Chains A and B, each alone.
Chain A
Amino acid sequence: GAVVSQHPSWVICKSGTSVKIECRSLDFQATTMFWYRQFPKQSLMLMATSNEGSKATYEQGVEKDKFLINHASLTLSTLTVTSAHPEDSSFYICSAQPRTGYRDTQYFGPGTRLTVL
């Protein structure tokens, strides 16, 4: 149980295009989902906290107009990188916090590797 999926697992796009990444909790409902970014050989940095039915909360330094987050249901959050540039190339990982039960744990998705040419 407690599986989180991400789609796509990898994507290559041209500079200036937008890319949408999906994060789904497959067998549980998640009130809160988190989006992280990881550059090569670096650790994960929290980008934003996404709550179902409300606006996302962004960490300092993260452009909310560039990284659009939508949490439309208790099992799906999406991250859209708008007008992507090569410096946005990174590994994006989401996590989901269960709505009920043991809420101390976050379950992580397998990640999406974005390469912007």
Chain B
Amino acid sequence: KQEVTQIPAALSVPEGENLVLNCSFTDSAIYNLQWFRQDPGKGLTSLLLIQSSQREQTSGRLNASLDKSSGRSTLYIAASQPGDSATYLCAVIKSSYKLIFGSGTRLLVRP
């Protein structure tokens, strides 16, 4: 059974700091991996999708990497801003297009 773990569960950093969020999964037979952002009481916003054949994806200040063999992905946020405060979820995608989510990292960027 696929399990997805995110570390840390919560993170508080001062504005401007670079930070890394970690995601690990137990079964390397994944189709894709996707990072999402969720604001309190809201739905999901897709940030980056990495296909299984890719190593990383970049969008603005965000960079996500994928190492299938070790079952790990990281989300790097450069020059963090208070507006980045949210919960970040990673999800692995199986061939049936089902998403299996991690428990999330709650990020607070302090002004």
Residues of A near any B CB (own CB < 8 A): 6, 32, 34, 42-46, 49, 91, 93, 95, 97, 103-111, 113
B1-54 at interface with A (beta carbon < 8 Å): 31-32, 36, 41-46, 49, 51
Is the pair A110, B43 in contact by a Cβ cutoff of 8 Å? Answer: yes
Interface size bucket, B side? 20 to 34
Q: How many A-B residue pairs lie within 8 Å, measured between CB atoms?
A: 52
Cross-chain contact of B49 among A6, A42, A46, A104 (Cβ < 8 A): A104
- Residue pair B42, A106 in contact (C-beta under 8 Å): no
Is A43 touching B97 in the complex (CB atoms < 8 A)?
no
Cβ contact within 8 Å between B43 and A108: yes
What's the least CB distance linking B65 to chain A, in Å?
Answer: 18
Identify whether the interface residues of B are mostly helix, strand, loop, or mixed. Answer: strand
Q: How long is the Cα–Cα vector from A106 to B36 in the complex, in angstroms? A: 11
Q: A43-B89, A43-B103, A44-B89 are in contact. Are A106 and B41 (CB under 8 A)?
A: no
Residue positions of B touching A, CB distance < 8 A: 31-32, 36, 41-46, 49, 51, 89, 91, 93, 96-104
Closest A residue by C-beta to B1: A60
Q: Is A46 a contact partner of B44 (Cβ separation < 8 A)?
A: no
In the assembled complex, the Cα of A45 lies from the Cα of B102 at a distance in Å of 9
Q: Report whether B97 and A103 are in contact in the complex, using a CB–CB cutoff of 8 Å.
A: yes
Of chain A, the residue at the smallest CB distance from B9 is A41
